[in-house]
Amino acid sequence: MNEAPLPPAAARGALLDAWVAKRAEIARLEGEASELLAARADLFDADVRADPQHRDMIRRSMIAEYSAAGHISKTAAELGFNDAAALSEFFPALRRALRQGDITAQHVRVLVAAAAPVREAVLNGNLDAETLAVYETAALTIAEHETPARTRPHARQITAALAGESIRERHARAASERQITIRPLDDGLALLTAVLPEVYAVAIMDRLRSLATAVAATVGPDARPEFVAADGRTRREIEADTFIDLLLAATPSEALGTGLDRITATVQVTIAGSTLAGEDDRLAELDGHGPLHPDIARDLARRASGWNRLFLDDAGMVTKVDRYTPTTAMKRFLRARDQRCRFPGCHTPARRCDIDHNEDFALGGQTEITNLSDFCPGHHALKHPDIDAGHRWTAHQLPDGTLRWTSPIGRAYDDRAPRRVMFV
């Protein structure tokens, strides 16, 4: 006897559940693969003990074989061995979480990399060995509920709180590595690489995007986020053209439209009031990215026309925003609280998002903080009333600021408002 077909929503839900289960299975297999790399690393140690003068060649040979057998790059093989060694030696809880499918190999890569200053400080005797366990516990709590991209800035915040002095030293050393390089590619292209302090790299990218947006607006009314109607250039192409124009002509040319010289870069930085006043040298925070050297943060604050004062509760959540130059209070609060798009997993900066009524204004939703959030254009569109109800999402804000999205098949997904760095 044939079973009755599943209703459309149930069918979609069943496929989603199967996909989530398969992803967890993949993570568990990644954990098993990491264990195999760790076991191979133990054999490497034994080989080196037997022939120490050829340590480098023995490792290069091992990496080359795994790269060839796995059809992966040398760099990927090296990173795999490094992560496996870190899990085996320093991070037992992360190791268990990966084996259980609670986090992915991408999470491990992010967490191990972010922990480098803590590991360095422990090895140098500047921090107790137990500090690594503190980092691991705090970072894993984030990773189990966030994407790798969102986990990274949180992990870097934790590292900054635990090993701030080490990070300041690393930043000072790394500043001497800034450089511009060029490598020819095929078809008349070349790869121009700039290694810069992160805050300036973020600012450069922000200005290029802002300029490209302004150019697209001047091309024609049919311009879309993906393509510009009049000449067919993508936004990435416009950004590249603007980059060339700015470097070679110093100011935007007429070909890119008028008035672009008034568009400036925007970055969002959080700094303790005592650090801003020069009373201490606590690390600041480049929101959405990670720690920022206090000297750079103070310099940015001196140049800013205005800045927000944030009031935090004991958990590091924004409770109030004050600003010394006039602007719209609600917008300031939301930008400060949300930092990025409030759809689960999205990390589009709040400055490029739309402020949305979670409960539609036309349906009685109030214009108040408890009913407003930042959504990027792509995720904002998921709630549009002109979308068929069978494909429309809804969002509801809980008392603690968490956004609860409900999918067309009735599944709920929570997005917690990001906590700010606590200067301790």
Q: What is the mean pLDDT of residues 47-72?
A: 88
User: Shortest CA distance to 351 belongs to which of 339, 366, 359, 333?
Assistant: 339
Write out the H or E segment, with its range, that includes residue 355: strand 354-357
Q: How many CB atoms lie within 10 A of CB 78?
A: 16
d(CA 20, CA 150): 19
Cα four-point dihedral sign 282, 283, 288, 290: negative
Residue 253 has pLDDT above 60, yes or no: no
Q: At what angle do helices 148-162 and 130-143 cross, to 10 degrees?
A: 150
Give the rounded distance of the alpha carbon of 203 from its chain centre: 15
How confident is the model over 374-420, as pLDDT tens digits? 998 888 888 887 777 778 888 999 988 899 999 888 889 999 888 76
The whole-number pLDDT of residue 322 equals: 54
CB-based contacts of 163: which residues, under 8 Å, 6+ apart?
Answer: 117, 118, 120, 121, 126, 127, 131
Task: Indicate whether 224 pLDDT > 60.
Answer: no
Residue 222 has pLDDT above 80, yes or no: no
pLDDT attached to residue 104: 94
pLDDT of residue 314: 73
CB 352 within 8 A of CB 337: no
- pLDDT at residue number 114: 92
Is residue 341 within 8 A of residue 347, CB to CB? The reply is yes
pLDDT at 326 over 70: no
| Cross-strand pairs, 318 | 312
Question: Is 239 in contact with 252 (CB distance < 8 Å)?
Answer: no
Instruction: Confirm if 372 and 383 have CB atoms less than 8 A apart.
Output: no
The Cβ-side half-sphere exposure at 365, using a 13 Å CA radius, reads 19
Mean pLDDT in residue range 228-252: 73
pLDDT given for residue 262 in this prediction: 56
Neighbouring-strand partners of residue 397: 403
Residue ranges of the alpha helices (H) in 51-129?
A: 55-70, 74-89, 92-99, 105-114, 116-123
pLDDT tens-digit series, residues 93-141:
999 999 999 999 999 999 999 999 899 888 888 888 899 999 999 999 9
Query: How far is the C-alpha of 16 from the C-alpha of 197, rounded, in Å?
Result: 41
